[in-house]
Amino acid sequence: MFSSRFPLFQLSPVLIFAAAAASSSSNASTVIQWGTCVNDFESTLPADCGTLLLLRIPATVQPAKGSIVLNFGGPGEAGRSTVAETAIILQGLSGGQYNLISFDPRGTPNSNLPFSCFDTDFARQAQAQGQSLPDIDNEEALAKLWARATIDATACAKKQKTTGELIGTAFTARDVLSIAENLGEDGMVRYWGYSYGTTLGATLVSMFPEKIDKVILDGVQNPHEYYHSYGDIEEWAQSDQVFSGIFTSCLQEPDACPLAYYNPTAAELENKVWTLFDTLKTHPVPVGDLIVDENVLHGIVSNSLYSTSSWKNTTRALDMLLTGNIDEELILNLASAVVPVDQATLLAATSIYSPLEGIHCSDRAARAGTYENLLPTLRELANTSRIMGRTDMSLSMVCAQWTIDPKERYEGDFQVSPANPVLLIGNAYDGHTPIQSARNVSSGFEGSVVLEVNGYGHSSLGVPSLCSLKTQADYWVNGTLPEPGTVCQPESAPFSEASWLEVISKAYGA
């Protein structure tokens, strides 16, 4: 399947200081210059482009109080285009008083240091087509995926060893510090990270605690596991609960949910859908030119764990596949987010495979080496989440066989006392980053607080909430932390369609 592992916005993918290995941390030797953007970043607010491949959304309230640097996860997610596209929401969440800056991290296609292990379109296509989601008892599929992972790890070691040594998270953390120090501001770091961007942020805070002004980590990964385990197991700890949430919420909002008329219990409804997955293995359904098989349905369903705003359409599609009464346009529309529909989207999807593997696998200090050593981890993944565990198997297999070591890796224990306290945010139910990981990081960062948002989705961006907006803006603008134990309620229930833009108009009256 072609969906990347955890893109924050279900968008297509994409540093800055060319391979400046351990760059000097001196203040303001070069100050970044800002001008008009040459590329079209589809920004929703005015945008400036900077020397050093940065993109800046100026504060909507001038004079600005300073700048915040953002990372959107992956690893490998584009920074510049994502901050441009989400500018209105992020300015709303930060209180409008900061410039928002992002960059395409080392290793990503539009950075100064792209990491790409395959030269031809044919080879990239073969890589994409070699992806699969094997059941844990399917030895043949697991063996094939392992062999595919051998090809990836070998190709990267052969073609990209020098670059591969320089794209790890410790370097990107130094890049963030360099940006902060070269803005001509106070030299302190204001950083906002989502998903994998929280691992970058946890690394940044732990490497440079004395440089921290304000940091929000939202949709938090367990960084201990990211660096030291054979697989990202904890990430999927709540995925099955979010999946089940589709069915329990459906019965609570029967007028909005197309599956409610079956009038079953939530568990019966969920079982019906598991049976549908099995049926599609042996009886895939052609829809237009697309074969809707178990993998395609899995892509559609796992994509909908990001935000409940997709649940109405997902349950419509499930009902269609259950009844055979199919609206081609809806199914093809949902599928287009998870399967390439033409050569361009196929190649765009594959362009993030190498950066994702290169960054995560070189960061990963634990390398299983053999299939036999990795097998218990694969079993643990399958056992942690029936719906999502399989999606991590390909990456775990590549990292198990990775041979490039980074020139620098953060080796500490994430126990620090930063100059100013960090705010962590977790949803009550997050299918990609469970709230226990936010609590885990918080326990190591003295003075930090975890804000809980009581909804389903990935990071607080997945759950529109006025309380969450006010809490975040108050932190950025006034440095105020919420009381420990604060829980924010979402603006609306799953299956109704609240949006961040509505929440922002409510907050700012515009």
Using CB under 6 A, list all residues that contact ligand NAG.
27-28, 95, 184, 186-187, 222, 224-225, 234, 309-310, 313, 329-330, 333, 383, 385-386, 440, 443, 473-474, 477-478
Q: How far is the CB of 119 from ligand NAG (least distance, A)?
A: 37
Q: How far is the CB of 240 from ligand NAG (least distance, A)?
A: 6
3-state SS assignment for residue 494: coil
Q: How far is the CB of 226 from ligand NAG (least distance, A)?
A: 9
Beta strands in 77-122 (DSSP E): 99-103
3-state SS assignment for residue 158: helix
Q: Which of 190, 215, 197 is nearest to 56 (CA)?
A: 190
* Residue (137 or 342) nearer to ligand NAG, CB: 137
Calculate Rg over the CA atoms of the chain.
Answer: 22
* Residue (152 or 181) nearer to ligand NAG, CB: 181
CA 195/CA 10 separation, integer angstroms:
13
CA 229/CA 286 separation, integer angstroms:
40
Q: How far is the CB of 337 from ligand NAG (least distance, A)?
A: 9
The torsion of the CA quartet 504, 506, 507, 510, rounded to 10 degrees, works out to 70
* Residue (151 or 330) nearer to ligand NAG, CB: 330
Q: How far is the CB of 32 from ligand NAG (least distance, A)?
A: 12
* Residue (149 or 300) nearer to ligand NAG, CB: 300
Q: How far is the CB of 231 from ligand NAG (least distance, A)?
A: 12
The alpha carbon of residue 134 and the mean position of all alpha carbons in its chain are separated, in whole angstroms, by: 22
3-state SS assignment for residue 131: coil
Q: How far is the CB of 96 from ligand NAG (least distance, A)?
A: 9
Beta strands in 26-88 (DSSP E): 34-35, 48-50, 54-57, 67-71
* Residue (220 or 473) nearer to ligand NAG, CB: 473
Q: What is the DSSP string of 202-223?
A: HHHHHH-GGGEEEEEEES---H
User: Which of the 8 DSSP states describes residue 457?
Assistant: B
* Residue (159 or 224) nearer to ligand NAG, CB: 224
* Residue (41 or 495) nearer to ligand NAG, CB: 495
